[in-house]
Amino acid sequence: MKPDSKIHRVESIHVEVPYTWILRRLGYDKDDHPDRHTLSLIEENVALALSDSECSGAYRILKIESRKDTAVALDGKLKIRSASISKFLSDCQYAALIFATAGRKITGEIESDIHGTKMTEALVLDAAGSEIVEAATDQMQSIVSATAKKYGLRTKDARFSPGFGDFLLSNQKMIFNALDMSSHGIELTETFQLLPEKSVTAICGLK
């Protein structure tokens, strides 16, 4: 038995607050802590970011039909031209296309703060939103991993997103279409940016 190639939607993704990573994104490390007033502001806006996040996503597992040094062909006539992806998937039988989004509400809150000149609040919300959608993508990858185990497969720990190395940002369009992301309310701009902004696509390998 092998994995099916249909789209699997996940309507609600629960994430724990990635607080340490949010602080790091804001420039704090274990030896550098915000003062009490700043910490209170950060905590308040991280809580707001979490309440405004409506995380959802989808995944699709596709068989690797062929692989060359600079290209990979997937089931469904999907082709990826990238030496980095070819190397990344060199020991894999399948590739999983995944995406996660934190939704539009948090983006609207960030824009509202910017227009209201609440720049510090906007900065915290932006950092929190970025880490929340990364945590949601981690959860999507865990869901893929649990599915893979049913078929005797193991998911690689890493994942690869468009825009890194020679895996060009234009590959967003391929993943966008393959996962029918428009049905989730996601848009793709002419420059291959995802809207709402707090959305992530990636490929992970199954071997």
- For residue 43, being part of any structural domain is answered with yes
At 148-178, the pLDDT tens digits run 999 999 999 999 999 999 999 999 999 999 9
Q: How far apart are CA 150 and CA 12, in angstroms?
A: 22
**3-class DSSP state for residue 1?**
coil
Which distant-in-sequence residues (6+ apart) come within 8 Å of 80 by Cβ?
71, 72, 73, 74, 86, 167, 171, 174, 203
At 46-62, the pLDDT tens digits run 999 999 999 999 999 99
- For residue 111, being part of any structural domain is answered with yes
CATH, residue 180? 3.40.109.40
Side chain identity at residue 32, one-letter code = D
The number of beta carbons lying within 10 Å of the beta carbon of residue 157 is 9
Average pLDDT over the chain, rounded to whole? 95
Name which of 29-38, 48-57, 185-194, 196-205 the model is least confident about: 29-38
- For residue 152, being part of any structural domain is answered with yes
Which distant-in-sequence residues (6+ apart) come within 8 Å of 32 by Cβ?
none
Q: What is the DSSP letter of 164?
A: B
**Residue 76 binned pLDDT confidence (cut-offs 50, 70, 90):** confident
At 80-136, the pLDDT tens digits run 999 999 999 999 999 999 999 999 999 999 999 888 889 999 999 999 999 999 999
pLDDT given for residue 183 in this prediction: 93
Residue 27 sits in which domain range?
8-206
Percentage of residues of the chain with pLDDT beyond 90: 90
**Structural domain total, the chain:** 1
